[in-house]
Structure 1
Amino acid sequence: MTIKLHSVVGRRSYDKDIVFRVIELKKIDGKEFAILYGEDYRLIADAPLEDLVEMDTRSVHAKAKELKNLEEQSFELFQQDKRLLLEREQHISTKGYTEHSPYFQVPGKVLHLDGDPQYLKKCLDLYEKIGVPVHGFYCNEKEMPNEIGKLLDYYRPQIVVITGHDAYSRSKGKKTDLQAYRHSAYFVQTVLEARKKFPHLDQLVIFAGACQSHFESLIHAGANFASSPTRINIHALDPVYIVSKIAYTPFKDHINVWEVVRNTLTGDKGLGGIESKGVLRTGMPYHSIGEEE
């Protein structure tokens, strides 16, 4: 079967461990190659067409079902954490439930830049399900450093996500070499540009990175949280769980890194960061226009 643009494929040499879609076909030294995006993992790869096999519907559905179960588990665990956070804040705001002044809560606003439009849509759907206010934009990773400044000026978010696709290539250097990564250098530059606007780590919380990204460089550039400490693949929705936890943690509370990453699909091998503050704020009084007096 001929491999075409948008075909859903696996790599024979990797025992079809990850489902990819073909996003570009090209010739290198006369040999036909495909550029691949992971269907569920934020990984970009290239492979000769001869190494690719089109995935049958049953295999794709089986892998999708397995990941869907993991997504649902992560969502339920996150919802439990969210309820506990909001209940604790309610207890504090009402002085141990002895006062009944109506109040409202404002979670942090997110600006999400994503190098994959399909992943962006999945993320925006999850933000909506969780209840996090967000502005999302598809942006090629190479263009992110040029776009981040104007977006920050216009939207003034409390949290920024800088993500897309990435990959480490052993043929290009050691794991410590930034140039050995597909898009890590662009993520690093985008973080640096964001920090020119908001230098302090608690002024703007930043998540940056994708599959196998150069974690240390992203943290040194000014990211609060990043991928990937052990250079493994991260799930498409992991950035959402990271920043949603931050969005619903009160601004006066510090966030333990383990508490942030424990309910993600990837865990601490693919995600990490430094101690940061939450951004949720509580206000009062709450009065809904239209309610009867």
Structure 2
Amino acid sequence: MDVVGRVSYNCDIMFRVIDIREENGKKLAILYGEDFRLVADAPYEDLIIMDQTERMRVSKEFRSLEEQSYQLFRQDIDLLNQKQEYNATGGYKIPFNYFQIPGRVLHLDGDPNYLKKCISLYEKIGVPVTGIHCNEKEMPQRIGPLIDYYRPDIIVVTGHDAYSKSKGKMTDINAYRHSKHFVQTVLEARKKIPHLDQLVIFAGACQSHFESLIHAGANFASSPSRVNIHALDPVYIVAKISFTPFMERINVWDVLRNTLTGEKGLGGIETKGVLRTGMPFNSNQQE
């Protein structure tokens, strides 16, 4: 699959060519961002294939950012674990003998490549997850049965999105590629579990209609400033929730600060964690 850049945008973002269509006798390419959750279209003649050297350079920059974000996140999780250990052992006065159950994640993604990257990161961090590749338009119909079957603590509803100025004002949800489908999916999920702390929802992709997603019932969403978000940002948000004890509330900034996009691309409301601690831990019963 060719990786291309748009000449008119100085090749600022690398894209995969998903489809080529004929419109008014001209070729139009449908593009998915290689590192950003952005869908775009462009005249075929505006595209240039990115050479291997440039692809490696851009890829190296993104991998470096991802590694920095991961290391900061690991520090956060280590601190949370130390705090939990202190509390569970009465200030280290009783033996270290407890177990933890992180929140279970159901991740719906419109992009199979991004889903694969996200699942890999969930597993690296240690978050229990089920990943489902699903076209954004089909998500509202599929979310209800998936909630019944998997009974998740946290849901991620993401894929690709984009705002098009030619289709309407920024306040008009119909001017967005998939925001209305994400909103409808959140509404369907809230029909199943209305309480914001019994089911935590992240919804949205690049440039998504943030306000509509929050009003529909998402705890966290993109994109307040209608900017592009990184493919892995949803993972860092829900992993933080998964590893935060259910008796603690999460400050929104604590969730956003280790993402690659930050508060311009991501936002949310105060939310409880979902981690639960139990005891005793019997190592002989480990598989």
Identify the TM-score tier after normalising by the shorter chain.
Answer: over 0.9
- Residue 3 of structure 1 is matched in structure 2 by none
- Residue 206 of structure 2 is matched in structure 1 by 211
What do residues 177-216 of structure 1 show as CA deviations (whole Å, max 9, x unaligned)?
A: 0000000000000000000000000010000000000000
When residues 263 and 290 of structure 1 are mapped into structure 2, their CA distance, relative to the original with a 3 A threshold, is closer
- Residue 176 of structure 2 is matched in structure 1 by 181
- Residue 73 of structure 2 is matched in structure 1 by 78
Q: Do the aligned partners of 1:101 and 1:285 also contact (CA within 8 Å) in 2?
A: no
1:60 maps onto 2:55 in alignment: yes
Measure, in 1, the Cα distance between the counterparts of 2:151 and 2:160: 25
For structure 2, list consecutive stretches of 5 or more residues without a partner in the other structure.
Answer: none
**Counterpart pick for 1:19 among 14, 18, 28:** 14
After superposition, residues 215-254 of structure 1 pair within 5 angstroms as: 215-254=210-249
**Counterpart pick for 1:126 among 105, 121, 125:** 121
- Residue 146 of structure 1 is matched in structure 2 by 141
- Residue 167 of structure 1 is matched in structure 2 by 162
> What SS does structure 2 have at the residue aligned with 1:286?
coil
- Residue 191 of structure 2 is matched in structure 1 by 196
> What SS does structure 1 have at the residue aligned with 2:13?
coil
Measure, in 1, the Cα distance between the counterparts of 2:285 and 2:75: 32
Give the % identical residues: 69
Question: Normalized against structure 1, the TM-score is what?
Answer: 0.97
Shift of 1:289: 2.3
What do residues 236-275 of structure 1 show as CA deviations (whole Å, max 9, x unaligned)?
A: 0000000000000000000000000000000000000000
Q: After the TM superposition, list the runs of 4 or more consecutive aligned residues in structure 1 that deviate by more than 3 angstroms.
A: none
Shift of 1:30: 1.2
What is the total number of aligned residue pairs between the two structures?
A: 286
The alignment yields a C-alpha RMSD, in angstroms, of 0.8
**1:136 aligned partner, one-letter code:** G
Measure, in 2, the Cα distance between the counterparts of 1:15 and 1:282: 51
- Residue 41 of structure 2 is matched in structure 1 by 46
Q: Do the aligned partners of 2:233 and 2:259 also contact (CA within 8 Å) in 1?
A: yes
Shift of 1:101: 5.0
- Residue 29 of structure 1 is matched in structure 2 by 24
- Residue 87 of structure 1 is matched in structure 2 by 82
**Counterpart pick for 1:289 among 256, 260, 284:** 284
For structure 1, list consecutive stretches of 5 or more residues without a partner in the other structure.
Answer: 1-5
